[in-house]
Amino acid sequence: MTESSQPFRPARSLTHPLWIGALLVLLINDHLLKGSSLPSLLTGKLSDFAGPIVAAVLLAVALRVRSQRGWRLAHLATAAGFATINLVPSAARWVEHVSAQVPFPWIITVDPTDLIGLIVLPLSMVGLGGVNMRETSAVQAWRRWTRRVSVPVAAIACMATSTREPIGQGPQNFPNEPGAVAIGNDTDEARLIRVRSLNETVEIDCGAVLANPSHALSRELFGAAETWLLEARRALPLPSADGDCSVYLIETEEMPATLLAWDAQDFSEGSLPTTTQVTDRRIARIIWAGDTWLNLDHEAAAYLRTPEYATGACEIAPTTTGVDWSGAPSGVREISEIASAPNGCHEVRFTQGPDLVLCIPGDFPYAVGESISVLTSTIYDGRNTADSIALASDTTALEVVRGSVLPAGTSGAVALESCPLQHDECGNSVRAARIGIGESGEVFGSAGETVVLPNGTELHLIRVQQMPARDLECAPSADALDYLEYFTIQNITETP
């Protein structure tokens, strides 16, 4: 086979002095010269010239290209990737985020002047693309040895070629990026941080959450973590969430789980620095708070804490306590049998149609032989909704409600501020509340109490609470901050 007719093999470029020289420059520069007394401008640009040559050949070898066209495309792809991470900060952050998952994370300095290094790619494309060494046994052995050694070494060199600015120098080539608050690493070494945002199904009441984020929020309300390698003196901007406030959960190996929660009026979306070497109140700084742990220093930061245990009037009824019913078709039916269980559930059998199971604390207000009308519905008060089942005989009307609609004759729910916030089994934030009775609002009713409304109706309050942070996939109500479970019993007086 003649030299001109030999098949195209990018791996042959790995033995060429140009590629080996570029690899040596990359290794020596990144591991010996950077951080030395040499000017950072010189050491930075050496990598910019050597790196594209090494990367383009590695890409062609990895893709196993077998044509000059594939060889050219590998060089063009290298140029496009190099240009993107030096012109688009968000692309550089994405690459850093992905590389944080592997043993050799990248730290990328976005610097458009680094694009000058791309002028070497035509030299690599033409000079190395024409390499066709005579395949003697000695040449084959040399090529196999150099490929086995140089490929992994070059891959590690490319991963390690990120610029690390010596601490103490001023911020250089760190562009601003959009965000509202940034996490800044003010320590002397790189830190792996995990950033969690609220699940998409979570709704919060900003006023209640911002008043006490440590107890209002639980880990269960946050989604999967994004992991970032945050270099010393670098800052990671966080965008504002939709709505009036934003919340993130920040974790590191040495720092207690910390919340960043801010009001949109205090920290609006803008252009943030990506370095901590500036004075800016929008940067939440990771600093040493002692000998063994870190702290996120910022006015919007608060530790995630376990809620206090509540007793007495502040205690939230367990999920096993409350109202419930089986779906029953609407209509008038005659009761044939009633079986009541100790847990407050009553199985009502009718002469015709399916049975009804109704769970309410207390006695069932109807007797065998009575005819009652049954109506299940969703009630709406103009803002909120609730599920309801209404039973009525000639003498008694029973309505059972769960949701965010207040009983008629009440004036609204008010949180018991003396009661601590608690978390239910889903991680929702819950606080005991009470509702005003009558127009004056001077009389209140709390969970577990029975009060008489102005029209003489008995109101049995089973659950009265507020939920400033709740996951709609698990919370009992999706409408409002308030959540109620109650039933009313009214004696019906026939009009003459």
1 pLDDT tier (thresholds 50, 70, 90): very low
User: For the residues 72-99, what does the mean pLDDT come to?
Assistant: 80
In 3D space, the residue among 37, 20, 252 whose CA is nearest the CA of residue 143 turns out to be 20
444 — phi, psi (to 5°)? -125, 155
Identify the three-state secondary structure at position 42: helix
Question: pLDDT, tens digit, for every residue of 248-298?
Answer: 999 998 888 999 999 999 999 999 999 999 999 999 999 988 777 899 999
Q: What's the pTM?
A: 0.64
Measured CA to CA, the distance from residue 379 to residue 479 in angstroms comes to: 12
Are 208 and 468 within 8 A, CB to CB?
A: yes
440 pLDDT tier (thresholds 50, 70, 90): low
Residue 245 has pLDDT above 90, yes or no: yes
Measured CA to CA, the distance from residue 214 to residue 309 in angstroms comes to: 15
Q: Where are the domains of the chain?
A: 10-159, 177-303, 324-491
User: For the residues 366-392, what does the mean pLDDT come to?
Assistant: 92
| pLDDT, averaged across the chain | 82
User: For the residues 426-435, what does the mean pLDDT come to?
Assistant: 90
* Contacts (Cβ under 8 Å, ≥6 apart) of 115: 82, 83, 86, 87
Are 387 and 378 within 8 A, CB to CB?
A: yes
